[in-house]
Structure 1
């Protein structure tokens, strides 16, 4: 079991972290310390209080980074650090948040792994910070629950880079003058129940990606295409070729063919039963066309290929006996190197 946390100045042999059965996937547990993790989370969501859940605080902006706004997707929220990509796969560069290049110096630490050796810049120049809300019902948003009553609380108004958002204050949601939110339609799944669809990262990046997990774990799947269909489309084999359990503070690195020729996806662990690699993935019932929706992900036992490197004793017990894990709010830092870069001032001059 590996429990040693890598320091920013440490050089190590990446091959010793290779996942069995893959030549281009590496898993490093405890890549950062618990103190560094807490520091990063405070930078990502200052004021975040796990006891109250993310309902109020996940809206807060990153205070020590350049001006960025949350981007709301169907199943997560994200911010882009280092700039944004144009339709031509050119990165319009912006400064990175200071904390990723000072303490805990994530950029240099990833550079020390050697995975970006040979990339255009020799290190990541772009990070996607994603926030995936908790799947724990006790931590869901107050206004996501059927019949919840609330009123805006002026004490919770927060200034977010020249915009103002009014949060829902849990202390007054039971007041008699509060209005009732209509129940959510059962046909519309909540964000926490939606699986990120299998996808590729595309040609804009050097074929290496490092993803750091914060605050909670995640089940990560890799998929392959089946033979091209007669009409020219490409279908996806619903059985993962590789499944990993990403622990908090770990980093998973995908390179070469696993990056270029495979798709990847994550699924909330409550939708996936976990097991050791010798527990063969088995189909519970027939997969239909929506096999990659939240329901489809539950149709397989997920053998975890990196089980020998899992450091948490309780998690190893679940892997040994089978079962599911409850995921909390998860932050991830997806770090890549974009080859084509343009400075913002070059666009302003046009």
Structure 2
């Protein structure tokens, strides 16, 4: 059954990952293979100035660039608005908190991101669509990292291509998430808490090879402005 034939709202109650602190939802095959390929094509055909090159990955901002003084709101293209519509139909966001920003990160095999939280610039719900490749998302207690204690990894989630991840509540505020820099991931059914919710069965100790992954992080930025801000100071 295609996703658009389902009652999307009911997915929230059936997609809760119960073995972790509140709250995370994992929905495999949230988008179709055709949608995935269209997204990859659109991202890769974006003009070069749209990309921001970081030291270990590159990214695109759509809807504006979040800033503590306010995000200068920009129109989100139709191909991304269709995914925002689908996420909004889940009713995880309040009516006046419709997502207005999409951050697209490109991760080549071997690339990752350090432990972080999404922070106060966003409404405390983060939704992420994965395209192209899987990854393992690692979670750490926030207070341990802030106190310079070597953080202990609490658990992992396997993010498959075409899946949707939703983080909120305790997991948004009190945990950090990261992607380790490696080219392969090894299945551990004890550590990967959503393994039984995935779209396929993974054997214990199976090695998964990473390829290029695009993550679409869809969020609501509460503070926006249409006035051009002087952001240099």
Alignment of 1:153-232 (within 5 A): 192=110, 194-226=111-143
Find out whether 1:256 has 2:169 as its counterpart: yes
Please point out which of 72, 80, 87 is paired with 2:61: 80
Cα RMSD (Å): 2.3
Q: CA deviation at 1:45?
A: 1.0
**Gaps in structure 2 of 5+ consecutive residues:** none
Alignment of 1:279-294 (within 5 A): none
TM-score relative to the length of structure 1: 0.60
Task: Name the residue aligned to 1:123.
Answer: 98
Structure with the larger strand share: 2
CA gap 1:15/1:304 in 2 versus in 1, 3 angstroms:
same
Partner SS state of residue 197, structure 1: strand
Task: Name the residue aligned to 1:38.
Answer: 37
**Gaps in structure 1 of 5+ consecutive residues:** 47-61, 136-191, 278-302
CA gap 1:272/1:236 in 2 versus in 1, 3 angstroms:
farther
Task: Name the residue aligned to 1:16.
Answer: 14
Q: Provide the C-alpha distance between the structure 1 equivalents of 2:130 and 2:149, rounded to a whole number of angstroms.
A: 26
Task: Name the residue aligned to 2:4.
Answer: 7
Deviates more, 1:303-312 or 1:76-85: 303-312
Find out whether 1:98 has 2:78 as its counterpart: yes
Q: CA deviation at 1:12?
A: 2.4
Give yes or no for contact 1:245–1:306 (8 Å, CA) kept in 2: yes
Count of aligned pairs: 228
Q: Provide the C-alpha distance between the structure 2 equivalents of 1:40 and 1:236, rounded to a whole number of angstroms.
A: 40
TM-score relative to the length of structure 2: 0.88
Please point out which of 293, 304, 321 is paired with 2:192: 304
Task: Name the residue aligned to 1:25.
Answer: 24
